Amino acid sequence: MAKRGGFPGGMPGSQANMMKQIQRMQRQFQEKQEELAQKVFTATAGGGAVTAEVSGEGKLLAVKLQEEVVDPEDIEMLEDLIVAAVNEAMRAQEEEYQKVMGANLGGNLGGLGGLGF
């Protein structure tokens, strides 16, 4: 009597389907990462006195200062505004990343038995 479940020359149908689904998810994940990498997230502080731009990969691209914010007598305020603008731009990038990638992974993992990361 033959054993059930053994396929000497290949994977059972459900495992093959699972592998196809995983490969499709990997492609989708990579596509979403590439889309995010092309985005630029901009944030301001001090009513627009300082602007920071962050790439979709989370890299600081630029800091722009309005001339009126450059006060040699108050360097600390300028430093604080720069930090605030950069942090806000990075927060926006991270939020978008979590939204896009979380939806991509979370929406597709249900078919894999609820695997989570």
Q: What is the pLDDT of residue 73?
A: 92
Q: What is the pLDDT of residue 103?
A: 74
Residue type, 9: G
Q: What is the DSSP letter of 37?
A: H
End-to-end CA distance of the chain: 41
The answer to the question of residue 23 being in a domain is: no
Report whether pLDDT(110) > 80.
no
The answer to the question of residue 117 being in a domain is: no
The rounded distance, in Å, linking the Cα atoms of 23 and 15 is: 12
Query: What range does the domain containing 87 cover?
Result: 37-108
Q: What is the pLDDT of residue 11?
A: 57
The CATH number given to whatever domain includes residue 97 is 3.30.1310.10
Q: Comparing 103 with 94, which gets the higher pLDDT?
A: 94
The answer to the question of residue 12 being in a domain is: no
The answer to the question of residue 63 being in a domain is: yes
**C-alpha angle 84/90/92, rounded to 5°?**
105
Task: Assign 81 a pLDDT band (cuts: 50, 70, 90).
Answer: very high
Number of domains comprising the chain: 1
Report whether pLDDT(116) > 90.
no
Question: What are the pLDDT digits (tens) for 4-18?
Answer: 555 555 556 788 899
Question: What are the pLDDT digits (tens) for 16-69?
Answer: 899 999 999 889 888 888 888 899 999 999 999 999 999 998 999 999 999 998
The answer to the question of residue 71 being in a domain is: yes
